[in-house]
Amino acid sequence: MTQQSFQKTADDLLQGLVKANPRVPGVVAMATDRQRNIYEGAAGVRRTDRNEPMTTDSAFAIFSTTKAITATAALQLVEEGKLDLDAPASKYAPEIGKLQVIEGFDANGDPKLRAPKREVTTKMLLTHSAGFGYDFFNETYNRLAEQKGQPSVITASRAALNTPLLFDPGTKWEYGSNIDWVGQVVEKLSGKRLGEVFQKRIFEPLGMKTMTFELNDAVRGKLAGVHARNADGSLTPMDFELPSAPEVHMGGHGLYGTVGDYMRFIRMWLNDGAGENGRVLKQDTVNMAVQNHLGKLKVTMLPGVIPSLSNDAEFFPGLSKSWSLPFMINDEQAPTGRPAGAQGWAGLANLFYWIDRKNGVGGYWATQILPFGDPASFVGYMNFETALYDSLKAS
């Protein structure tokens, strides 16, 4: 498959997916090499109840694909000698030092808490080994939400951050609100809100113009709507929005923006930290950051505890997966052709990206569908990635 036939294959894939049964309402997909986007495609509609076509400049709630941007801001502070990844995170964000480990519930249904055996470090937060979870992936957090009123992270409130630890820091991998805490570390060290830090230190050097924690009319006017996938495969548009004046800029999931902007961020990682308007990270920092920082621990399946928000989900089941400071690493070659050591992750509404520094390519796939792990969108994404690797092999 040549570059030209990849274009056609990808176009056909997107168009087919918005007409299939089950279908996706709308999708934007892009692929890049180190210099520029080599594919930009859009199909379908932004919302199924409105006749607004999805376009390559449509905006999305990017959910957890926010996380790697927060990790990048933390790495900038490491470069400046302001942040020690192995020091207790409470040195920078004191509130984290007050959190205890939950060991189940007593006869009255109250949480049984104890002091953690070691302190949480920022490196543990970055690698999701600090002890935090999410209520939609963890039964204990879900019970705290349902029975004790623990607010969801989507409220973007300070109270949402103050959850107990699920285990002693550093003892296992569990995906959760860790990067929201990294955002707090960045804010304390910089003396600015996270959105300001991103704007000045990441978005401007990369030429990213749409990304924001504060949903404004310009972004809202191009926003793709979130849809619920029903049991029969049909789709219902939801009036879902994150708070537009959030109490906390949630470093784990809070950004809105376009796929084109995120491609500039992916290219920075392909180019050893360099952006089109300036350098974001030093090459040595990038080389250090993309190594496995999880040690012998491994990334595990995400169990869908709240069915409306997530299915059981796992990338490349059966393959070993680690975590770098910003991303998941596939330790072995993936079925798509993605090589061992490549980086990537996802966002709750079925957004997916990958960064292949070895071959100098990456891509981003954006839909707005809940629950996570939507078979139609996920298989579409895997086919898109596979088509790119097929075209690389052919050329």
With residues binned 3-state (H G I as helix, E B as strand, rest as coil), the percentages for the chain, rounded to 5, are: 35, 20, 45
Q: How far apart are CA 275 and CA 259, in angstroms?
A: 16
Question: What token pair was written down for 299?
Answer: 């990334």
Task: Check: CB of residue 65 under 8 Å from CB of residue 351.
Answer: yes
CATH 3.40.710.10 domain extents, the chain: 3-59+194-394
395 residues of the chain, pLDDT tens digit each = 577 899 999 999 999 999 999 999 999 999 999 999 999 999 999 999 998 999 999 999 999 999 999 999 999 999 999 999 999 999 999 999 999 999 999 999 999 999 999 999 999 999 999 999 999 999 999 999 999 999 999 999 999 999 999 999 999 999 999 999 999 999 999 999 999 999 999 999 999 999 999 999 989 999 999 999 999 999 999 999 999 899 999 999 999 999 999 999 999 999 999 999 999 999 999 999 999 999 999 999 999 999 999 999 999 999 999 999 999 999 999 999 999 999 999 999 999 999 999 999 999 999 999 999 999 999 999 999 999 999 999 88
Calculate ∠ Cα 330-335-336, nearest 5°. 90
Helix axes 67-79, 259-270, angle to 10 degrees: 40
Q: Which residues are known catalytic residues?
A: 64, 67, 175
CA dihedral of 158, 63, 226, 355, whole degrees rounded to 10: 180
Q: How far apart are CA 120 and CA 134, in angstroms?
A: 17
Q: How many Cα neighbours within 13 Å face the side chain of 306?
A: 18
Q: Is 350 helix (H, G, I), strand (E, B) or coil?
A: coil
Model pLDDT, residue 288: 98
Return the DSSP state at 128. T
Which numeric CATH code is attached to 3-59+194-394? 3.40.710.10
Q: How far apart are CA 95 and CA 116, in angstroms?
A: 14
pTM of the model: 0.98
Task: Check: CB of residue 343 under 8 Å from CB of residue 357.
Answer: yes
For the chain, how many helices (H) and strands (E)? 12, 16
Q: How far apart are CA 187 and CA 192, in angstroms?
A: 5
Question: What token pair was written down for 247?
Answer: 């109490």
Calculate ∠ Cα 337-265-46, nearest 5°. 85
Task: Check: CB of residue 42 under 8 Å from CB of residue 226.
Answer: no
Q: Is 106 helix (H, G, I), strand (E, B) or coil?
A: coil
Question: At 322, which amino acid appears?
Answer: S
Give every CB contact of residue 300 below 8 A, 6+ residues apart in sequence: 173, 174, 314
Question: What token pair was written down for 173?
Answer: 């991998």
**Sole residue written with tokens 């399946």:** 301
